[in-house]
Amino acid sequence: EVEVDELQRLLAGMEKEHRSLLLKMKEGEAELARLRSVEGDKLAEQDRSAQLEKEVAMLREKIHHLDDMLKSQQRKVRQMIEQLQNSKTVIQAKDAVIQELKERRLRLLQNLEMHDRIEHLIEKQVSRGGHSSRVRSKSEYVSRYVGSTLTGPKPLPLIRVVET
């Protein structure tokens, strides 16, 4: 009987220990599941973080490339504006030369016309009252053709360069 009681006590102790171990095992499994979940979340967060870092690096590269393109386009625009302004300066200088040549031509035509008038007066004085028929000179035709239609060059508009 003592042995049976001892075995029953041992059996009860073993059942109690079994329940205790089952409870600890369930708690351990729950903790393990929670840790796996947390670890899985951490892995997911690490993956997402790595993906976001890649996207940020790619976007930085794109921004850098766009900045380079923008600077290149700004340089091209500045060069085109400089060329345009240089062309305007050249055109204005040529217009000034053209205006000066027109004024010289007008003075020459006026001189030719004066010369013809003087010749005409001299011929008149020489012939004294005689009726002389003369052909009109080239200068009279040219002076009538040219008239006073000479105009100066028009000023060209200014272009401003705006840097951003």
Copy the structure tokens of residue 5.
Answer: 């009681």
Per-residue pLDDT tens over the stretch 65-116: 999 999 999 999 999 999 999 999 999 999 999 999 999 999 999 999 999 9
Residues 24 and 43: their CA atoms lie apart, in Å, by 28
Q: What's residue 148's pLDDT?
A: 44
Residues 147, 142: Cα–Cα separation, whole Å: 8
Task: Note whether 74 and 161 are within 8 A (CB).
Answer: no
**Among the ranges given (6-20, 49-63, 125-139), the one the predictor scored with the smallest mean pLDDT:** 125-139
Number of C-alpha atoms within 13 angstroms, CB side, residue 106? 12
Model pLDDT for residues 125-163, shown as the tens digit of each residue:
988 755 444 544 554 544 444 444 445 555 555 555 555
Give residue 1's pLDDT: 77
Closest CA to 119 of 145, 148, 139: 139
Consecutive H or E run containing 88: helix 2-127
Cβ atoms of 145 and 106 closer than 8 Å: no
CA distance 95 to 4: 132
pLDDT at 150: 47
